[in-house]
């Protein structure tokens, strides 16, 4: 996609998705909550995670409370989340690591973040973007699918897709784009069937133009 088309795409996305808040609920005065919510979001919808964390953060209102919690209590609260037994361990161990290694403060460093249990690059990027405003993009299935269809990447590796998007999208727009592309993937450019006829980005999209020619 050319720079002119990218500029046009970003303008359209700004109109379609002006609200670029994080999809996960957390107390902004307790940024550790976003880290825990993002760990839970692997193979689980944000809607389900928000239901779970409402209970989790009520039961454990501080990082210290979570770090010292009985693992069975954590499991009981998050049991409707996929892979809940493993994730319960990640939550407790990551809370402990935050306290012992970082004095309870989320590190502003992707290498330090990804050393924590259950924290991959996608999770780290979500936290860095929303807590610290670092211009980065978390590549999930929606981002990978929409970016490929739009012609912003030809890769299927998350790290390569991330690199392609970081090169293509202006840094001043990356934070907004990160949530906008996910919103578009959920609402319009879905995995099961892309709604190209209803998509205002289809004029710029390789996949959309192919769909129209096929009709």
| Residues 55-107: tens digit of each pLDDT | 999 999 999 999 999 999 999 999 999 899 999 999 999 999 999 999 999 99
As a whole number of angstroms, the distance between CA 208 and CA 183 comes to 17
Beta bridge partners of 189: 194
User: How far is residue 44's CA from residue 80's CA, in Å, rounded to a whole number?
Assistant: 9
Q: What pLDDT, on a 0 to 100 scale, did the predictor assign at position 194?
A: 85
pLDDT at 213 over 80: no
- pLDDT > 50? residue 215: no
If pLDDT is split at 50, 70 and 90, which confidence band does 209 have? low
User: Which residues, including other chains, have CB under 8 Å from residue 88's CB and lie 6 or more apart?
Assistant: 71, 74, 75, 78
- The CA-CA-CA angle for residues 33, 39, 44, to 5°, reads 115
Confidence of residue 211 (pLDDT cuts 50, 70, 90): low
Percent of the chain with pLDDT over 70: 96
**How far is 54 from 66, CA to CA, in rounded Å?**
14
> Catalytic residue numbers?
122, 140
- Higher model confidence: residue 66 or residue 205? 66
Work out the pLDDT band at 210, boundaries 50, 70, 90. Answer: low
49 to each of 96, 124, 165, 195, how far by Cα in Å? 21, 17, 27, 27
């Amino acid at each position: 996609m050319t720079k002119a088309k990218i500029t046009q795409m970003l303008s359209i996305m700004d109109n379609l998705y002006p609200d670029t808040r994080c999809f996960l609920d957390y107390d902004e005065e307790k940024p550790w909550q976003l880290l825990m919510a993002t760990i839970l979001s692997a193979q689980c919808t944000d809607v389900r995670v928000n239901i779970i964390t409402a209970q989790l953060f009520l039961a454990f209102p501080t990082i210290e409370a979570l770090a010292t919690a009985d693992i069975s209590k954590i499991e009981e609260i998050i049991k409707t989340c996929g892979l809940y037994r493993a994730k319960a361990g990640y939550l407790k161990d990551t809370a402990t690591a935050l306290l012992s290694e970082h004095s309870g403060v989320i590190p502003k460093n992707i290498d330090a973040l990804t050393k924590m249990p259950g924290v991959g690059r996608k999770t780290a990027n979500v936290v860095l973007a929303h807590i610290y405003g670092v211009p980065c993009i978390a590549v999930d299935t929606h981002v990978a699918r929409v970016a490929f269809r739009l012609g912003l990447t030809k890769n299927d590796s998350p790290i390569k897709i991330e690199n392609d998007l970081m090169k293509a999208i202006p840094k001043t727009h990356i934070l907004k784009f990160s949530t906008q592309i996910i919103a578009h993937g959920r609402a319009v450019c879905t995995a099961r069937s892309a709604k190209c006829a209803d998509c205002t980005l289809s004029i710029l999209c390789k996949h959309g133009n192919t769909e129209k020619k096929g009709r």
